[in-house]
Structures are given as C-alpha cells and as structure tokens.
C-alpha cells in the first residue's frame, strides 16, 4: 500500500547564494513491509471492540483506549486520538464496501518531508477498489492553520510522485483527503468524503 518516495532539493543560485526552490521526488521502491506497531494503554483498560459506543464522559480518555475487532485494518489493534475524527472514520472505513484495507501507519512507515525537512505522517492510509488514499481527519478549527496546510501541500506533492510511478506500473492512483472532524459522520461514504475533501493542489 505504499511507495517510498524521498524528496531531494532543487536549488537556485542568486547573487552567489544557494536557495531552495523546490523538491524532486525519487521513488526508491514500490512497496514496503508493514512495520510493527506497539501500543500502551491504561492499566485498568482492556482492548475494546471499536463498534462499542464511547460515552460522552469517556471521550477525553480515548487516547488511553485500545481498540480491536476490525476486519479490514492491517493491524489487529489500533489507538485513536479523537472520537469525533479518527474513531468515527475507522467505523466508516470498516463499513464501506469500497474499502479493501486500511491502517494508521506505524511510526516511520511514511516519511513525507515538509517545512525545512520535518516529517509528516498521515493519520490513515486506505486502499479502496479504485484508489489508495492518505486521509487526515482534523479538528475543523485547525484545517486552515499554516502547519496543517503545509503538510497537506507536501502530501499532495507526494501523491503526484506516487501517481507518476503508479502510472508506469499499472498501480492505483493516490489521493489526499483533509477532512474536518464535523464532516465525519456515520453513514457517510468514502466516495462522498473524497468528492468533498480531496486536495489536489
């Protein structure tokens, strides 16, 4: 489900100075083995079925919870940072017939460079019947912040290089979705979310 793409700087010389102007992607391999994922959870917690409701009073503790019961996730266990964003999106992914598999990448599984060499890892990687998706659910008030937008631009560029490679090797096209949490509602489809929230530039 992944292309390894590294970014190398292009530079321009102006008045004797070297200044970064752009990035060039280099595909080093067309797939990667899933990295092991380890999880910590509260001592009084047991892994819970992701379909089990989370009560309003429990929302603040969601990061301490460990979830299981998935049929399409690449890992048997997952943790989520939010109820209204990540946890609900996982429910949509599991219930959508177009979704083949999904995961929250283990640390270091994706390395998308942005903002002076910092690394960005999208929250979800999803394979559907027709495409591969990088999905970032985000609190609605944070979607337009400079850091989130810088990550989005880097991810869109990553998808462009991945798509150039996929086109040469009969692979699925990659797309990037930045979704405000209040648009993630049970009953939504991935196709509908893609239509509304795919970023292309």
Would you state the structure tokens that stand for residue 158, as one six-digit string? 């990553």
Q: How far is CA 80 from CA 58, 59, 64, in A?
A: 13, 11, 9
Extents of the domains making up the chain: 59-199
Mean pLDDT confidence for 160-168: 91
44-53, 83-92, 109-118, 132-141: the lowest-pLDDT one: 109-118
Strands 124-128, 131-138: parallel, antiparallel or unpaired by DSSP? antiparallel
Mean pLDDT confidence for 9-16: 37
Q: Please give the share of the chain, as a percent, with pLDDT higher than 90.
A: 66
Kind and range of the H or E element at 51?
A: none
* Global model pTM greater than 0.75: yes
Q: Which residue in the block uniquely carries the two structure tokens 């890892």?
A: 121
Q: How many CA atoms are closer than 13 Å to the CA of 89, on its beta-carbon side?
A: 32
The class that CATH gives domain 59-199 is: alpha beta
Tell whether the model's pLDDT for residue 139 goes beyond 70: yes
CA gap 62, 58 in Å, rounded: 7
Q: Which own/partner contact pairs does 113-122 have at CB distance under 8 Å and 24+ positions apart?
A: 113/6, 113/7, 113/23, 113/154, 114/150, 114/151, 114/153, 114/154, 115/147, 115/150, 115/151, 115/154, 120/151, 120/154, 120/155, 122/155, 122/176
CA gap 122, 136 in Å, rounded: 6
Tell whether the model's pLDDT for residue 14 goes beyond 80: no
Would you state the structure tokens that stand for residue 86, as one six-digit string? 């990540």
CA gap 85, 141 in Å, rounded: 13
For 22, list phi and psi in degrees, rounded to 5.
-165, 180
> How confident is the model over 72-106, as pLDDT tens digits?
999 999 999 999 999 999 999 999 999 999 999 98
Tell whether the model's pLDDT for residue 29 goes beyond 60: no
Tell whether the model's pLDDT for residue 35 goes beyond 90: no
3-class DSSP assignment, residue 72: coil
pLDDT value at position 136?
A: 98
Mean pLDDT confidence for 138-161: 96
> How confident is the model over 169-201, as pLDDT tens digits?
888 999 999 999 999 999 999 999 999 999 997
DSSP tag of 201: -
């Amino acid at each position: 489900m992944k292309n390894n793409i590294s970014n190398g700087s292009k530079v321009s010389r102006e008045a004797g100075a070297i200044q970064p102007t752009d990035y060039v992607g280099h595909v080093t391999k067309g797939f990667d083995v899933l990295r092991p994922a380890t999880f910590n959870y509260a001592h009084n917690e047991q892994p819970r079925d992701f379909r089990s409701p989370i009560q309003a009073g429990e929302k603040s503790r969601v990061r301490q919870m460990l979830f299981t019961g998935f049929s399409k996730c690449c890992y048997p266990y997952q943790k989520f940072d939010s109820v209204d964003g990540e946890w609900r999106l996982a429910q949509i992914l599991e219930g959508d017939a177009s979704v083949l598999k999904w995961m929250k990448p283990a640390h270091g599984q994706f390395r998308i460079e942005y903002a002076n060499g910092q690394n960005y890892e999208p929250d979800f990687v999803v394979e559907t019947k027709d495409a591969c998706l990088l999905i970032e659910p985000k609190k609605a008030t944070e979607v337009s912040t400079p850091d989130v937008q810088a990550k989005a631009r880097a991810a869109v560029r990553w998808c462009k290089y991945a798509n150039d490679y996929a086109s040469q090797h009969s692979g699925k096209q990659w797309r990037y979705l930045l979704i405000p949490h209040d648009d993630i509602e049970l009953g939504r489809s991935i196709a509908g979310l893609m239509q509304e929230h795919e970023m292309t530039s």
